[in-house]
Amino acid sequence: MKKRLALCAASAAAALAVLGGTAMSANGAETAPSAASAKMPNCSANYPLAHVKTNMRIHKKPSKKSTTLRLWYKNTYGCSSAGFVNGGVYFDMCGKDDHEWRKVKYRGTWGYVPMPCVYPGRI
């Protein structure tokens, strides 16, 4: 009887851990969530799904001199405006020198990233 209760408790704990974004291994240790279980952002037609191929700083204003709000990790998803805004000049960002920035939303943070660094759609 005790073994059954322990097995049920372990199963319930594993299920709760998976729902919370953390998986449990057979011995009860936590493991990192898999890429398949990564949460996709809820994007709209005006801000479609996008990703970056290298870690990018999200800025408060469209300028490299503005405050960095957070880091957008490479090969993860966010939402990006379809158009661009003119802002501060950046040099050699993602292979281009320009002044065009995209407004993005990544993990609840709104900000700006140099336009050539944002790629539309899925990886």
Supply the range of the domain harboring residue 6.
2-36
97 within some domain = yes
Spacing of C-alpha 17 from chain mean position: 21
Is the pLDDT confidence value at 32 over 80? no
Give which of 121, 73, 79 is closest to 102, Cα–Cα: 79
* Count of domains forming the chain: 2
What pTM was estimated for this model as a whole? 0.68
Confidence of residue 21 (pLDDT cuts 50, 70, 90): very low
pLDDT the model gives residue 39: 73
What b/e readout covers 56-85, taking b as 16+ CB neighbours within 10 angstroms?
Answer: bbbbeebebeeeeeeebeeebbbbbbeebe
Does pLDDT of 3 surpass 80? no
- C-beta of residue 18 within 8 angstroms of C-beta of residue 24: yes
Which pLDDT band, with edges at 50, 70 and 90, does 77 fall under? Answer: very high
- Same domain? 13 vs 62: no
DSSP string, 78-114: EEE-SS-EEEEEEEEETTEEEEEEEEEEETTEEEEEE
Please check whether residues 12 and 69 belong to one and the same domain. no
Residues 63 and 110 in one domain: yes
| Domain of residue 87, CATH code | 2.30.30.40
**Token pair 């851990």 is at which residue?**
17
78 lies in the same domain as 110: yes
Looking at the structure, do residues 53 and 32 belong to the same domain, yes or no? no
